[in-house]
């Protein structure tokens, strides 16, 4: 009967430590997700499309002629 109590106690301790580990993991993940949501970086500015070389050259010549 005494060894049965030891086994039951060992299983209870194992189950308690497993549940504590799951709880700590859940708390960690919850905090991590909250921080990720709270610290969302601002959206980058839209990338300006560069003109084609022909458009660039035409604009450059137009500006040179205006001087």
In a domain, residue 1? The reply is yes
Per-residue pLDDT tens digits for 8-65: 888 877 777 766 666 767 777 888 888 888 877 778 878 888 788 899 899 989 999 8
Asked whether 59 and 51 are in contact (CB, 8 A), the reply is yes
- pTM, two decimals, is 0.33
pLDDT given for residue 41 in this prediction: 74
In a domain, residue 55? The reply is no
Total of domains in the chain = 1
In a domain, residue 54? The reply is no
In a domain, residue 61? The reply is no
pLDDT given for residue 58 in this prediction: 92
Domain that holds residue 3: 1-40
Structure tokens at 57: 């050259």
In a domain, residue 21? The reply is yes
In a domain, residue 57? The reply is no
Question: Cα-flanking dihedrals φ and ψ of residue 26, to 5°?
Answer: -65, -40
């Amino acid at each position: 009967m005494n060894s049965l109590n030891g086994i039951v106690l060992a299983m209870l301790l194992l189950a308690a430590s497993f549940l504590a580990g799951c709880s700590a993991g859940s708390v960690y993940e919850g905090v991590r997700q909250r921080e990720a949501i709270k610290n969302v970086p601002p959206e980058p500015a839209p990338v300006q499309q560069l003109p084609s070389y022909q458009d660039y050259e035409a604009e450059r010549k137009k500006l040179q002629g205006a001087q």
